[in-house]
């Protein structure tokens, strides 16, 4: 049975859309197979004259990504809703393996702030390092801000994106002991895997530059 003009038009449009979709998927798959990954880690280091012994890592400020919704048609992109706590935990884990400082566990940090009736996120956004020093009784605090902590995915492709800045600040005089800016994108890895890699590299570089 021959198809009418309407049926032919519908069929042709469907095939065009299918061809475009398959081409896009193939392109993404090829790019992913090349394992494209970019990373920029900048560390500005300033050794303080004061002896820093205790450090607390604060929950990273993730307000920028909190309002992001899942978006995309072929590729779904979603920001991790607990990015601030995840990055803080990863930073604590890596810094704890460095004998140079005593790192407060995150549970202790949250407990002390809560018992004082304060809100950690507000202290971080206000960058009130002096208040944090008094509450936590530490020589320095790590305060960070997240710009991206996303996972983009489709049936044949996945990509993690992580972007953040952080500073370690002397709670007594406000001096920045070190600061960093990190951006990384990697295919076939989720955002937590990417963040773990970035923070591990950052801490290793800090160790080398303070030896």
Q: How confident is the model at residue 70 (pLDDT cuts 50, 70, 90)?
A: low
Instruction: Supply φ then ψ for residue 56, to 5 degrees.
Output: -120, 135
- Averaged confidence pLDDT in the chain: 77
Q: In Å, how far are 53, 84, 116, 158, 186 from 148, measured between CA atoms?
A: 31, 11, 31, 16, 13
pLDDT at 61 over 80: yes
Residues 2-30 have pLDDT tens digits of: 445 544 444 445 445 545 454 444 444 44
Q: In Å, how far are 63, 92, 101 from 129, measured between CA atoms?
A: 19, 18, 18
pLDDT at 32 over 50: no
> How many Cβ atoms from other residues are within 10 Å of residue 10's Cβ?
12
In sequence order, the β-bridge partners of residue 103 are 55
Rounded to two decimals, the pTM is 0.75
Residue ranges with strand state E in the chain:
38-45, 54-57, 76-79, 102-103, 140-154, 157-170, 176-187
The pLDDT of residue 203: 87
Mean pLDDT of 50-73: 80
Q: How confident is the model at residue 93 (pLDDT cuts 50, 70, 90)?
A: very high
Among residues 210, 205, 185, 207, the alpha carbon closest in space to that of 195 is found at 185
Residues 136-158 have pLDDT tens digits of: 999 999 999 999 888 776 666 67
């Amino acid at each position: 049975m021959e198809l009418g003009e309407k049926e032919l038009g519908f069929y042709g449009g469907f095939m065009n859309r299918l061809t475009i979709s398959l081409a896009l998927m193939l392109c993404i798959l090829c790019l992913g197979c090349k394992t494209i990954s970019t990373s920029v880690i900048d560390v500005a280091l300033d050794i303080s004259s004061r002896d820093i012994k205790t450090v607390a890592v604060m929950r990273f400020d993730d307000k920028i990504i909190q309002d992001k919704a899942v978006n995309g048609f072929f590729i779904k992109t979603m920001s991790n809703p607990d990015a601030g706590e995840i990055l803080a935990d990863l930073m604590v884990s890596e810094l704890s393996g460095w004998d140079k400082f005593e790192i407060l566990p995150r549970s202790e940090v949250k407990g002390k702030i809560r018992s004082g009736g304060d809100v950690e996120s507000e202290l971080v956004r206000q960058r009130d390092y002096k208040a944090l020093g008094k509450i936590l009784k530490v020589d320095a605090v790590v305060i960070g801000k997240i710009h991206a902590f996303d996972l983009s995915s489709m049936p044949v492709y996945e990509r993690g994106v992580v972007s953040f800045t952080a500073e370690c600040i002397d709670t007594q005089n406000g001096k920045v002991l070190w600061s960093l800016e990190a951006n990384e994108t990697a295919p076939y890895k989720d955002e937590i895997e990417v963040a773990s890699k970035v923070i591990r590299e950052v801490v290793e570089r800090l160790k080398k530059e303070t030896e």
